[in-house]
């Protein structure tokens, strides 16, 4: 532990607090808004003291949105389920395809392997809107438009390059001799991949999976264009809160809180695992 | 040494395209008998590790063939070559303890639990790592990791054990103790081992035969004694032996029935014609220039010798190393007594023709060793 003076520590504490407040403020504010009605939210000046209400959450969960103009049906819970389903399945498919591919790219250099890997990465450079129009046309022809399979397929554009490139780096960091030591002991190539490479790259695979999950979860534009109401994730579903009789800030806030909860929970859970994995850093020696 | 444990024929290794990449091993041919311990000795970068990795199957053989126990293996995957290896970089599995690392090597053999435990215990005792069996590789020292890695190789039964600098990280005392034990272990079980090292003491102590490599080329493959007494060329002559052999260029001349080897600075080693055997004399006289080599132990101080001047004098506790300015270069001699000589003191040295190694001036190949032709 390096030595730091008291003053230094105080200054550092203050600076950290400021940064945390700056970044946390919108989230805290949204959290508070989710327990207020539209009237208290729109009061000027805004007030920190209010009477909390669960009405927003009830509306979301029951699917009945009360507005000045009457009752609206919303499919928020359905959207939330779509988000979970689409993200989890996409990441799972990406891991299944991407991890072996990453291993191949890391361990077997062949003519053009670098080019192929880069091409896969370049999918991420393409502006989504540019890809979307031709994709929509193809999908309609193929009957993939507005299907889960079609969406999961398109989500590979988001998840696969990410997983491929991150995990490849982790595989490259494992000294090849550790695998050789295992193979020479009479184990096949596949057993080595499963028993040595996969566990050693575990933290990296988890990190990549988490990141891919967040990206998939936050995706908006693919789902907006390619899916109709019953297949849409929360990001698109939130549009429903902009009603003819005004914007439902309370419900939007509650929806945001509900929709960031799974990612947050996953991140917090994975964090423990990731830190544990980092202590395996000795591998790189 | 009945059957052949390893046959390497005409093996080349290129990193990168054949004939254009780094040429790490050049036309290597050698044969190792069953039960032999062979040391690959050479300076860093001479191709020792590359050779070992080709035998194990981690590097492709660019040209030539390798056979283990009579089976051609150079196209087989490592799994099917039945060799064990201790890696230069240890390469232990980080998530496993030292004990598990060693036991893991036996997994493929499917031995009962009790037998595995017994084997691990005996190897751990041999290598003095019993107290760290439950530790993880990241929490033990380099020397301990090295021993664990060596243990992981020795614990296996295989046609061939490849040990890449297995004791480089150990402190000298431990190294000396382990050398003896490992040699005994290998011999007792009749294993065949190839040991890579750049330490000639280690090669001498462990190996039945030593393969000296330089620049990817096998220079000489012989017993430790013969390497010292009959170096095949100037490289082995100067590389093997501590302190290194003294070498000088000499012009061969004859005068009044004597042979003189004229050295720079107007010095000359004068010998009676009959001091050399007939074949050696013929060889000498057929040439104008040669390179002569003399082991430091073979240089004697004597009243009537050739003059030299002391430039350094070191007592090593059991012998004295004296360096002297001689014939435009430096001459090292070793004496077993503590010799007190001041810097700059004049001495006279003489060299018995029986101890003279003669090399061809152009090719560096040995011509004669003492009274015998090379
Ligand atoms: N993977 C590699 N790619 C390119 N060159 C290599 C590689 N491995 C070794 N070399 C080169 O081959 C030569 C022999 O290396 P190596 O067999 O490791 O030598 P040693 O074990 O005797 O020190 C060196 O010049 C080294 O730089
Ligand atoms: Mg080496």
Cβ atoms within 10 Å of B338's Cβ, excluding its own: 12
What is the structure's pLDDT at A67? 66
pLDDT at residue B173 above 50? yes
Q: How would residue B2 be classed by pLDDT, with cut points 50, 70 and 90?
A: low
Residue B72 belongs to domain spanning: 4-232
CB distance B173 to B187 below 8 Å = no
CATH number at residue B103: 3.40.50.300
- What average pLDDT values come out for chain A (285 residues) when binned by 10 residues? 80 94 90 87 80 86 73 81 93 96 90 85 80 88 89 91 90 91 87 90 88 89 83 83 78 88 85 60 40
**Beta pairing, strands B37-41 & B209-214:** parallel
Specify the DSSP element, H or E, that contains B223.
Answer: none
User: Are B222 and B253 part of one and the same domain?
Assistant: no
Domain boundary among B168, B202, B232: B232
**In the numeric block, which tokens belong to residue A35?**
């327990």
Question: B-chain residues within 8 Å CB-CB of A187?
Answer: 79, 107-108
Q: Hey, of B16, B68, B91, B162, which one would you mutate to test binding to chain A, going by the most A CBs within 10 A of its CB?
A: B91
φ/ψ (deg, to 5) at B130: -60, -35
In a domain, A18, yes or no: no
CB spacing of B108 vs A187 below 8 angstroms: yes
Tell me how many domains chain A contains.
Answer: 1
Domain check: are B33 and B174 in the same one? yes
Among B167, B197, B232, the domain boundary falls at B232
pLDDT digits (tens, 9 = 90+) for B16-73: 999 999 999 999 999 999 999 999 999 999 999 999 999 999 999 999 999 999 999 9
- What is the Cα–Cα distance from A236 to A224, expressed in whole angstroms? 6
pLDDT for the residue A241: 78
| pLDDT confidence tier of residue B8, bands split at 50, 70 and 90 | very high
Report pLDDT for A178: 92
What pLDDT is attached to residue A69?
65
Pocket test for ligand 1, best of B13, B18, B24, B49 (most atoms within 8 A of CB): B24
CATH number at residue A185: 1.10.3720.10
Residue A264 lies in a domain: yes
Number of domains in chain B: 2
Closest-lying ligand to the alpha carbon of B88? 2
Q: Quick one: B128 and B270 in the same domain? A: no
Q: Which helix (H) or strand (E) holds A47?
A: none
Specify if B131 maps to a domain.
yes
In a domain, A66, yes or no: no
Kindly indicate whether the ipTM for this predicted assembly is greater than 0.90, answering yes or no: no
CA A196, CA B100: separation in Å to the nearest integer?
A: 13
Percent residues over pLDDT 90 in chain B? 84
Distance A190 CA to ligand 2 centre (A): 28
The CATH number for B269's domain is: 2.40.50.140
CB B5 within 8 A of CB B34: yes
Q: How wide is the angle at C-alpha A208 spanned by C-alphas A23 and B94, nearest 5°? A: 115
Query: Which of A175, A178, A184 is opposite residue B84, by nearest beta carbon?
Result: A184
Looking at the predicted structure, is the pLDDT value of residue B222 above 90? yes
Asked which of B184, B209, B232 is the last residue of a domain, the reply is B232
Same domain membership, residue B71 and residue B170: yes
**What is the rounded average pLDDT for all residues in chain B?**
93
Going edge to edge, which strands form the sheet with B320-326?
Answer: B329-335, B320-326, B299-315, B346-351
Residues B303, B195 within the same domain: no
DSSP A195: I
**What residue numbers bound the domain in which A271 lies?**
76-278
Residues B24 and B111 in one domain: yes
pLDDT tens-digit profile of B342-357? Answer: 899 999 999 999 999 9
pLDDT per position as a tens digit, B85-120: 999 999 999 888 999 999 988 877 788 999 999 999
């Amino acid at each position: 532990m390096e030595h730091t003076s008291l003053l230094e520590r105080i200054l550092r504490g203050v600076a950290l607090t400021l940064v945390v407040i700056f970044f946390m403020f919108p989230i805290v504010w949204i959290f508070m808004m989710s327990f207020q009605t539209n009237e208290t939210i729109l009061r000027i000046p805004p007030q920190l003291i209010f009477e909390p209400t669960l009405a927003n959450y009830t509306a979301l969960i029951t699917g009945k949105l009360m507005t000045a103009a009457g009752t609206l049906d919303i499919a928020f819970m359905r959207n939330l389920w779509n988000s979970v389903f689409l993200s989890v399945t996409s990441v799972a498919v990406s891991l299944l395809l991407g991890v072996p591919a990453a291993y191949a790219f890391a361990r077997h250099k062949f003519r053009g392997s670098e080019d192929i890997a880069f091409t896969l990465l370049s999918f991420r450079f393409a502006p989504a809107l540019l890809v979307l129009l031709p994709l929509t046309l193809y999908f309609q022809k193929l009957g993939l438009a507005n299907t889960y399979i079609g969406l999961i397929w398109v989500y590979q554009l988001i998840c696969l390059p990410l997983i491929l490139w991150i995990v490849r780096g982790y595989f490259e960091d494992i000294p090849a001799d550790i695998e050789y030591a295992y193979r020479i002991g009479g184990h096949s190539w596949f057993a080595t991949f499963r028993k040595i490479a996969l566990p050693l790259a575990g933290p990296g695979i988890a990190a990549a999976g988490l990141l891919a999950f967040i990206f998939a979860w936050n995706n908006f534009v693919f789902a907006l264009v390619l899916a109709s109401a019953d297949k849409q994730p929360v990001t698109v579903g939130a549009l429903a809160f902009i009603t003819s009789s005004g914007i439902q800030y309370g419900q939007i806030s509650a929806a945001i809180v509900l929709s960031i909860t799974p990612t947050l929970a996953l991140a917090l859970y994975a964090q423990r695992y990731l830190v544990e994995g980092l202590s395996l850093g000795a591998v790189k020696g | 040494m009945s059957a052949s444990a390893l046959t390497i024929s005409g093996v080349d290794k290129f990193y990168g395209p054949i004939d254009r990449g780094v040429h790490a091993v050049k036309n290597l041919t050698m044969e190792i008998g069953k039960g032999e311990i062979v040391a690959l000795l050479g300076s860093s970068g001479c191709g020792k590790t590359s050779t070992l990795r080709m035998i194990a199957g981690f590097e492709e053989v660019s040209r030539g063939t390798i056979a283990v126990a009579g089976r051609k293996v150079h196209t087989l995957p490592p799994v099917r070559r039945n060799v064990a290896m201790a890696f230069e970089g240890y390469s232990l599995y980080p998530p496993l303890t030292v004990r598990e690392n060693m036991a893991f090597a036996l997994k493929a053999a499917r031995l009962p639990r009790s037998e595995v435990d017994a084997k691990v215990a005996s190897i751990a005792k041999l290598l003095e790592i019993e107290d760290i069996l439950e530790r993880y590789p990241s929490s033990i020292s380099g020397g301990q990791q090295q021993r664990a890695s060596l243990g992981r190789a020795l614990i296996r039964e295989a046609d061939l054990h490849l040990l890449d600098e297995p004791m480089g990280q150990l402190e000298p005392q431990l190294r000396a103790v382990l050398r003896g034990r490992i040699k005994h272990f290998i011999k007792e079980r009749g294993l065949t081992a190839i040991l890579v090292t750049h330490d000639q003491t280690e090669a001498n102590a462990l190996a039945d035969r030593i393969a000296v490599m330089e620049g990817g080329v096998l220079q000489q493959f012989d017993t430790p004694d013969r390497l010292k007494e009959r170096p095949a060329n100037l490289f082995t002559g100067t590389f093997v032996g501590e302190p290194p052999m003294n070498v000088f260029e000499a012009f061969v001349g004859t005068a009044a029935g004597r042979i003189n080897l004229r050295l720079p600075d107007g010095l000359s080693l004068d010998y009676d014609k009959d001091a050399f055997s007939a074949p050696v004399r013929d060889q000498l006289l057929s040439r104008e220039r040669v390179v002569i080599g003399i082991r430091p132990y073979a240089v004697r101080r004597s009243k009537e010798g050739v003059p030299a001047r002391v430039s350094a004098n070191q007592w090593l506790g059991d012998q004295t190393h004296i360096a002297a300015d001689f014939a435009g270069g430096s001459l090292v001699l070793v004496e077993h007594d503590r010799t007190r000589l001041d810097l700059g003191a004049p001495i006279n040295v003489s060299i018995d023709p029986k101890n003279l190694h003669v090399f061809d001036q152009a090719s560096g190949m040995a011509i004669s060793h003492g009274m015998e032709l090379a």
